Amino acid sequence: MPASDESPLADLPEAKADTQRRISLVWLIPLVALLAALWLGYRAYIQQGPLVTITFQTAEGLEAGKTRVRFKDVDIGVVEAIDLSPDLDRVLVRARLSQPMARFLNQRARFWVVRPRLSQGQVSGLSTLVGGAYIGADLASGEGRRTDFEGLELPPIVTAAESGAGYTLLTDSLGSLGEGSPVFYRGIEVGRVVAYALRADQRIAMQVFVRAPHDATIGEQTRFWNVSGVGLSLDASGLRLDTESLASLLRGGIAFANPEADAPAAQAAQGSEFELFANQQAAFADRYDYRESWQLDFTGSVRGLVPGAPVEFRGIPIGEVMAVELSLDIEQRSAALPVTIAIEPARLGQTDGAIDNPDERRRFWDDLVAKGLRAQLKTGNLITAARYVEFDFHPDDAPRTIDWDGQPPRLPSMPTAFDELTELAGKLARLPLDRMSTDLAGSLSALRDTMLATNKLLSRLDRETATELNATLAQTRSTLASMEKTLAPNSPLQSEAHRVLRELGNAARSLRIMSDYLERHPEALLRGKGDKQR
């Protein structure tokens, strides 16, 4: 049935279809959130710090996402990843640093792992026992930019920001010195040993760093010496104990000073090389630039003589022993012991002119040897049996000359008293003592037979000549008695002898008178005394 116009449904609104699609406001919220996230991500990206790669031997104590990077105990980054190198030989640690640290990533930047360590009497890294290991950083301003670094196995001894100067010390033996050993100036620790290495000439080059302002006291004439351990000496002054400090006992140490008490006029250049002496006495001993090499040949034992032993002239050092060698001659079955020494001729009074003039230098040494200059081994210490070379004049020795054809030339030497005794003992040992003892026994037996025969002869003579000897003695006594009577003071013989003596005296006076007269009147021999009176 058709609806009536007056039906209740006629008043309802008529629906209209909308064909346009609109965006709902509900999607606006996630859109804004996405834009904010993108902005924050971009801002974080442009503000994030640099990513550095540090190479270490091992990753002991390191953990990605937890291990911090610290500079002066301030967190400046965190380790993000730990990987192995392609050859599995190293560990690659990637750490993200804060943005302000980017301008300090240059050639002077260094990184190392801080762990508990005990080395050379020093304890470090104890705080890591609780908080764990971390990567220490040493940063300073500098040129260049880098993000790959070789990590240090030990903390640096000198920080990049520390001011001062570095120098090189040359020595033949390292001794107890090592990295971190202190450097003293007048008993004050002013620096450290940074590193050392063996050079091609087999000498040790030691790098030391002296902090400012003490580096200004180092000049070209500054002397460095080793103060490691304890110096003990016994001389005429008594027992002397020398040591710089407790630190030098544990870690070794180096001291330096200038020949003059004041600071030098000009500071030594950075990296200058200096000789490291064994002690202070050697450092300030007089040194001469010119040294002559000589060779000495000793026939006896050279036990106790080592390179570095002193060469002295009457107790005054003039050089040192450079080498002690052995030369065997298999064919001749002989051995030579050439000893090479270095002498500073200026200590003997040789002038610069003689040093520069080969002929004058040769005459100088020839004159000394002609006057008896000889080398001899002496014992310097009875406890250690250390020996040295002593020069002195021995005018009683046979004339000797210098072998100038040798390389180096050979100076004459003399055996020691001990060597002479040893040689005498050797000669005695070579004597045929067995044959000599047999001959001596035969001689003693013959002498004993001779003595027995002599005793028999004396007994026979005593028996056969005793009576005759008694008679002879009696006759001798009688003769002596007669002579005593004859020579008595009142005997006729004595009176006659006195008379004869008086006559002889008168005759002597007459002869003296006549001789005086003839001396005054020689013509009397021809004319006579009477003619003179007429």
With vertex at residue 211, the alpha carbon angle to CA 77 and CA 215, rounded to the nearest 5 degrees, is 150
Determine the Cα–Cα distance for residues 469 and 491; give it in Å rounded to an integer: 31
137, 219: one domain? no
273, 325: one domain? no
pTM above 0.75, yes or no: no
Determine the Cα–Cα distance for residues 68 and 130; give it in Å rounded to an integer: 14
Query: Quick check: is 479 in a domain?
Result: no
62, 83: one domain? yes
Which of 389, 442, 430 lies closest to 412 in space, CA to CA? 389
Query: Quick check: is 472 in a domain?
Result: no
With vertex at residue 336, the alpha carbon angle to CA 346 and CA 305, rounded to the nearest 5 degrees, is 55
For the chain, percent helix, then strand, then coil, each to nearest 5?
35, 30, 40
Determine the Cα–Cα distance for residues 500 and 57; give it in Å rounded to an integer: 137
Which of 276, 387, 296 lies closest to 342 in space, CA to CA? 296
Is the pLDDT confidence value at 49 over 60?
yes
3-state secondary structure of 99: helix
First-last CA distance in the chain: 252
Query: Quick check: is 27 in a domain?
Result: no
Q: What is the extent of the structural domain holding 188?
A: 164-283
317, 233: one domain? no
Query: Quick check: is 435 in a domain?
Result: no
pLDDT given for residue 84 in this prediction: 92
Determine the Cα–Cα distance for residues 527 and 534; give it in Å rounded to an integer: 11
59, 116: one domain? yes
391, 326: one domain? yes
Query: Quick check: is 443 in a domain?
Result: no
Structural domain ending residue among the three candidates 123, 150, 177: 150
Q: How many helices (H) and strands (E) does the chain have?
A: 10, 25
pLDDT given for residue 340 in this prediction: 92
313, 420: one domain? yes
Is the pLDDT confidence value at 236 over 50?
no
pLDDT given for residue 210 in this prediction: 94
Structural domain ending residue among the three candidates 150, 173, 197: 150
Structural domain count of the chain:
4
Determine the Cα–Cα distance for residues 203 and 399; give it in Å rounded to an integer: 42
Residue scoring higher pLDDT (444 or 418): 444
Cβ neighbours of 29 (radius 10 Å):
9
Residue scoring higher pLDDT (33 or 111): 111
190, 138: one domain? no
Determine the Cα–Cα distance for residues 343 and 291; give it in Å rounded to an integer: 5
Q: What average pLDDT does the segment 258-270 reach?
A: 80
Structural domain ending residue among the three candidates 283, 315, 335: 283
Task: For the chain, give the mean pLDDT.
Answer: 79
Beta bridge partners of 83: 92
Model confidence band, residue 326 (pLDDT cutoffs 50, 70, 90): confident
301, 408: one domain? yes
pLDDT 10s digits, 79-129: 999 999 999 899 999 999 988 888 888 888 999 998 876 655 555 555 666
140: Cβ–Cβ under 8 A, 6 or more apart, which residues?
104, 106, 108, 109, 159, 160, 161
Determine the Cα–Cα distance for residues 155 and 179; give it in Å rounded to an integer: 11
Query: Quick check: is 188 in a domain?
Result: yes
299, 421: one domain? yes
For residue 406 the two structure tokens come to 């040798």
Reported as half-sphere exposure (CB side, CA atoms, 13 A), residue 148 has a value of 2
Residue scoring higher pLDDT (238 or 132): 132
pLDDT 10s digits, 182-207: 999 988 899 999 889 999 988 999 99
The DSSP code for 419 is H
pLDDT given for residue 252 in this prediction: 72
Q: Are strands 387-393 and 310-313 parallel, antiparallel or unpaired?
A: parallel
298, 423: one domain? yes
With vertex at residue 509, the alpha carbon angle to CA 505 and CA 513, rounded to the nearest 5 degrees, is 170
3-state secondary structure of 361: helix
Residue scoring higher pLDDT (29 or 487): 29
Asked whether the beta carbons of 115 and 129 are under 8 A apart, the reply is: no
pLDDT given for residue 82 in this prediction: 93
425, 340: one domain? yes
Query: Quick check: is 333 in a domain?
Result: yes
Q: What average pLDDT does the segment 229-257 reach?
A: 59
Determine the Cα–Cα distance for residues 28 and 508; give it in Å rounded to an integer: 183
Residue scoring higher pLDDT (405 or 427): 405
Query: Quick check: is 10 in a domain?
Result: no
